[in-house]
């Protein structure tokens, strides 16, 4: 069974106190689809401009992504520039150029509309809804989001929530959406907005899944050095959805393992800029860390 | 086998936006010893003044603490006043009166010096060293500490570290002690200062144990409402040490379960002011939450 991933396909320019990395491959769908590619063959839905380097298309291909849904449009590729402080938790956006993503309105092929797993990676809620409108009875629909959409597109986001199986967001976004400081108390309020499953990401502190069978408290793989956390949340959810799409049996049973696989895939993302590390690893590297993490979190 | 606990036995006045709670039973040794009492019969080493309410002595007795080492001295009981903001992570000290703790220099009985488990709960490192000097080949010595001692008593604390089996501190203190922002990278540096085991407390995010068998990533019991986190760290380590003192078999094998029992005991501490909730629960309440947490953290 396979997976559809829609979101941004971008160029990221990332500055840190030690280095400048202009025009890296980035975007929520790039990170998510590459992470998922270790487990399944994802279909990538996105748009890039004339300035999108051919080497990045080749990188997608190397990871076996189905690119039937990647449109090359006339104009600039979505470009995000950001700067990290010495403490990697503090980042600020320097510039955002929407480019071709601004008017992107994909039409899915018949084959794409029948994909059972759907990942609406972080992007404007209208685009997420547009893709979901075209899907034919998907098995499991997950959307990721961010504070930006809570601030400037709250209404379309709230309209999308009842149509999801699972919403993914980070702890501060969960508090903002539920208007409740305590994340554990925020979760039931988010369920009331629609999704049967809620996943709250807590970065280095792991994540919390809430669903019909209660809470799952998931650890993160411990890292001694974080080089660039950009895309870690996208890799997390991409790895999870790729794993789910590759497994037989009940979704409920696979979900916890899916989160662990997503979490480990995201750990590699943090170890270098952009997708540099994630595009160098093999599936066996993920499997090894999953085994280590399982040992580290058992009692 | 039993446990010696030394630390502060105090009165805490705790203010929040909603309530004032003057002269509650508090102090690191009170929280730690009561937490340990669910598993073993701890010996409490501490000093209180003439103003220490009899009802608190009765509360210690109700929990089966051995009070041979609790001195009632002429003067004031150690008194801490603090204020929490709406966000419980922000607290400030309003006033501290050292009182009788200032010149407290206990002499242990022969029986006390032979106790196998030693918990040097958070207090001035000189007092921790004084008690440890008197112990006769203890099996497992753990010390808790805080930023205050890193700031004003770094030298005696550093001198104590090689004499410990385990040091417990929170994440920001670990970073401060190791001069390393990343907690996972800070841990090996702390091992180099002496302790074979290091436990880093991360509050609602759980804790990390590091030892000869690698890392253990431990979850915290998720709480929908935190009323007062004062003493949670002391309850955590008290519950852990009480559990260890109650178990047969290799310490290495029991340590992970000890941390989980400590973590759950601390969860009760947070649910009311001071020791109000912890002194109302039974061991079966702890056992029930340990079972729930085990289910919540398995995959």
pLDDT score of B17: 82
pLDDT score of B88: 72
Where residue B162 falls among pLDDT bands split at 50, 70, 90? very high
Where residue A139 falls among pLDDT bands split at 50, 70, 90? very high
pTM: 0.96
pLDDT score of B46: 98
Contacts of A48-54 with CB under 8 Å at 24 or more apart are A48/A9, A48/A72, A48/A73, A48/A77, A48/A78, A48/A100, A49/A73, A49/A74, A49/A75, A49/A76, A49/A77, A49/A99, A49/A100, A50/A74, A50/A75, A51/A11, A51/A76, A51/A77, A52/A9, A52/A11, A52/A77, A53/A23
Per-residue pLDDT of A229-264, as tens digits, reads 999 999 999 999 999 999 999 998 899 999 999 999
User: How many inter-chain contacts (A to B, CB under 8 Å) are there?
Assistant: 77
What does the mean pLDDT of chain B come to?
A: 96
**Residue A119 pLDDT greater than 80, yes or no:** yes
Distance of CA A77 to the CA centre of its chain: 19
- Name chain B contacts of A182, Cβ cutoff 8 Å: 223-226
The shortest C-alpha distance from B289 to chain A (Å) reads 13
Where residue B16 falls among pLDDT bands split at 50, 70, 90? confident
- Name chain B contacts of A214, Cβ cutoff 8 Å: 295-296
8 Å CB contact of B222 and A223: no
pLDDT score of B91: 82
Where residue B98 falls among pLDDT bands split at 50, 70, 90? very high
Per-residue pLDDT of B183-235, as tens digits, reads 999 999 999 999 999 999 999 999 999 999 999 999 999 999 999 999 999 99
**Residue A155 pLDDT greater than 90, yes or no:** yes
The shortest C-alpha distance from A290 to chain B (Å) reads 11
Per-residue pLDDT of A47-89, as tens digits, reads 999 999 999 999 999 999 999 999 999 999 999 999 988 777 7
The shortest C-alpha distance from A201 to chain B (Å) reads 12
pLDDT score of A156: 97
pLDDT score of A84: 87
- How high is the ipTM of this complex? 0.95
Rounded average pLDDT over A199-204: 97
Q: Do residues A201 and B158 lie in contact, with contact meaning Cβ atoms separated by under 8 Å?
A: no
pLDDT score of B258: 98
pLDDT score of A82: 92
pLDDT score of B163: 98
pLDDT score of A18: 80
8 Å CB contact of B299 and A256: yes
**Residue A91 pLDDT greater than 90, yes or no:** no
**Residue A165 pLDDT greater than 80, yes or no:** yes
Helix (H) or strand (E) segment spanning residue B254:
helix B251-269
Structure tokens given for B299: 């995959």
8 Å CB contact of A296 and B225: no
- Name chain A contacts of B222, Cβ cutoff 8 Å: 184, 208, 215, 217
Rounded average pLDDT over A80-107: 88
The shortest C-alpha distance from B178 to chain A (Å) reads 13
Nearest-by-CA chain A residue for B171 = A205
Domains and CATH numbers, chain B: 29-72+106-296 (3.40.1190.20)
8 Å CB contact of B299 and A298: no
8 Å CB contact of A219 and B217: yes
pLDDT score of A70: 98
Nearest-by-CA chain B residue for A204 = B205
Nearest to A224 among B182, B225, B260 (CB): B182
Nearest to A297 among B202, B205, B217 (CB): B217
Where residue A127 falls among pLDDT bands split at 50, 70, 90? very high
- Name chain A contacts of B260, Cβ cutoff 8 Å: 299
DSSP assignment of chain A? --EEEES--EEEEEE-SS-EEEEEEE-HHHHHHHHHTTTS-PEEEEEE-TTS-HHHHHHHHHTT-B-TTEEE-SSPPPEEEEEE-SSTT-EEEEEEE-GGGGG------HHHHT-SEEEE-SS-HHHHHHHHHH--S-SEEEEE--HHHHHH-HHHHHHHGGG-SEEEEEHHHHHHHHT-SSHHHHHHHHHHTS-SEEEEE-GGG-EEEEETTEEEEEPPPP-S--S--TTHHHHHHHHHHHHHHH--S-HHHHHHHHHHHHHHHHHHHTTSSTTTTTTT--HHHHHHHHHHHHHHT--
- Name chain A contacts of B189, Cβ cutoff 8 Å: none
Nearest to B297 among A86, A224, A297 (CB): A297
- Name chain B contacts of A240, Cβ cutoff 8 Å: none
Per-residue pLDDT of B30-68, as tens digits, reads 999 999 999 999 999 999 999 999 999 999 999 999 999
């Amino acid at each position: 069974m396979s997976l559809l991933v829609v979101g941004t396909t971008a160029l990221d320019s990332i500055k840190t106190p030690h280095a400048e990395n202009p025009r890296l491959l980035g975007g929520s769908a790039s990170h998510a689809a590459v992470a998922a590619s270790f487990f399944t063959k994802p279909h990538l839905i996105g748009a890039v401009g004339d300035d999108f380097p051919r080497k990045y298309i080749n990188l997608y291909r190397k990871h076996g992504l189905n690119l039937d849904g990647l449109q090359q449009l006339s104009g600039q590729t979505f470009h995000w520039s950001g700067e990290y402080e010495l403490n990697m938790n503090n980042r600020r956006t320097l510039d955002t150029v929407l480019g071709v993503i601004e008017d992107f309105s994909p039409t899915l092929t018949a084959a794409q509309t029948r994909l059972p797993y759907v990942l609406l990676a972080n992007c404007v809620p209208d685009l997420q809804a547009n893709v979901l409108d075209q899907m034919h009875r998907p098995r499991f629909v997950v959307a990721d989001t961010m504070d930006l959409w809570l601030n400037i597109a709250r209404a379309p986001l709230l309209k999308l929530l009842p149509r999801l199986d699972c919403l993914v967001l980070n702890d501060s976004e969960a508090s903002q959406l539920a208007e409740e400081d305590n994340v554990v108390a925020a979760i039931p309020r988010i369920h009331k907005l629609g999704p049967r499953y809620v996943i709250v990401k807590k970065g280095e502190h792991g994540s919390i899944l809430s669903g019909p069978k209660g809470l799952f408290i998931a650890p993160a793989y411990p890292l001694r050095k974080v080089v660039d956390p950009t895309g870690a949340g996208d890799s997390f959810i991409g790895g999870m959805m790729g794993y789910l799409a590759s497994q037989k049996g009940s979704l409920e049973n696979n979900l916890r393992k899916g989160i662990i696989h997503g979490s480990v895939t995201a750990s590699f993302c943090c170890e270098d800029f952009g997708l540099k590390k994630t595009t160098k690893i093999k599936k066996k590297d993920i499997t090894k860390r999953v085994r280590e993490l399982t040992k580290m979190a058992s009692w």
